[in-house]
């Protein structure tokens, strides 16, 4: 029986900071879990390099460890997106030039624009013990720092429209940009259907 990973934030050595148990973190796959034929064919043809569309896991929050009903934000939880403090919908296919906003644990509320490069594939040599292709990462110009990973990213098109999860920063075409996983990528890793996308944020 595989033991579930226990998550702590920010200090894993202190039981006081226990958050919850990992419930879902799909393995990189070369055979299934993709919506469109070209994606399945790509992974089948290059099956020695497994694919994944997100670097996101789901954690079941322990009782009393978090408030349910609003999106994650630093204390005292007063930050809103266009006066909205709950997720109202999703934008699962970001486009170049779209204005985006992030709420990070360290940086707080920042904003920027989608980069001209969208849906970029990246090879990672030490992912889950082997090489994997992380597909369709998104680039944007919002500010972020170490400690913001996992922060929610929103589209500035309507109040509370969720886009994905902040991952890291990277140098792209000579510029330092933020990198995030879009919500559709998480849904693709979880299932074969876009209709299941609500599972990620409900």
pTM for the model stands at 0.77
DSSP-assigned letter for residue 114: B
Strand-pair category, 130-140 with 120-127:
antiparallel
Q: What distance in Å separates the CA atoms of residue 48 and residue 46, rounded to the nearest whole number? A: 5
pLDDT tens, 149-184?
A: 888 999 988 878 889 999 999 887 778 899 999 888
Q: What distance in Å separates the CA atoms of residue 73 and residue 85, rounded to the nearest whole number? A: 9
DSSP-assigned letter for residue 84: B
On whether the CB atoms of residues 24 and 17 are closer than 8 A, the answer is no
pLDDT score of 178? 94
pLDDT tens, 73-87?
A: 777 778 888 888 888
Taking Cα atoms as reference points, which of 176, 151, 146 lies closest to residue 165? 151
Furthest-apart CA pair in the chain: how many Å?
Answer: 50
DSSP-assigned letter for residue 202: -
- Is the CA virtual torsion 162, 160, 94, 174 positive or negative? negative
On whether the CB atoms of residues 106 and 64 are closer than 8 A, the answer is no
Residues 6+ apart with CB under 8 A from 96: 114, 115, 116, 117, 118
Identify how many contiguous H helices and E strands the chain contains and give both numbers.
Answer: 2, 12
pLDDT tens, 3-54?
A: 678 877 667 788 887 878 887 776 666 544 444 444 444 554 555 677 778 8
Strand-pair category, 130-140 with 51-52:
parallel
């Amino acid at each position: 029986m595989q033991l579930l990973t226990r998550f702590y934030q920010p200090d894993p050595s202190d039981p006081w900071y226990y958050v919850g148990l990992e419930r879902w973190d799909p393995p990189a796959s070369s055979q299934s879990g993709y919506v469109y034929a070209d994606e399945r064919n790509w992974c089948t043809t290059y099956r020695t390099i497994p694919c994944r569309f997100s670097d996101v896991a789901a954690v079941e929050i322990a009782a009393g460890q978090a408030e349910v009903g609003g999106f994650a934000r630093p204390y005292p939880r007063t930050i809103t997106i266009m006066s909205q403090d709950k997720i109202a919908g999703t934008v699962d296919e970001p486009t170049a030039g779209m204005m985006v906003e992030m709420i990070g644990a360290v940086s707080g509320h920042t904003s920027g624009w989608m980069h001209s490069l969208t849906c970029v594939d990246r090879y990672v040599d030490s992912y889950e013990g082997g090489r994997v292709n992380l597909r369709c990462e998104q680039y944007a110009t919002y500010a972020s720092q170490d400690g913001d990973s996992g922060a929610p990213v929103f589209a500035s098109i309507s109040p509370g429209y969720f886009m994905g999860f902040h991952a890291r920063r990277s140098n792209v075409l000579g510029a330092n940009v933020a990198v995030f996983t879009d919500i559709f990528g998480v849904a693709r890793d979880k299932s074969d259907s876009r209709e299941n996308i609500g599972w990620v944020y409900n």
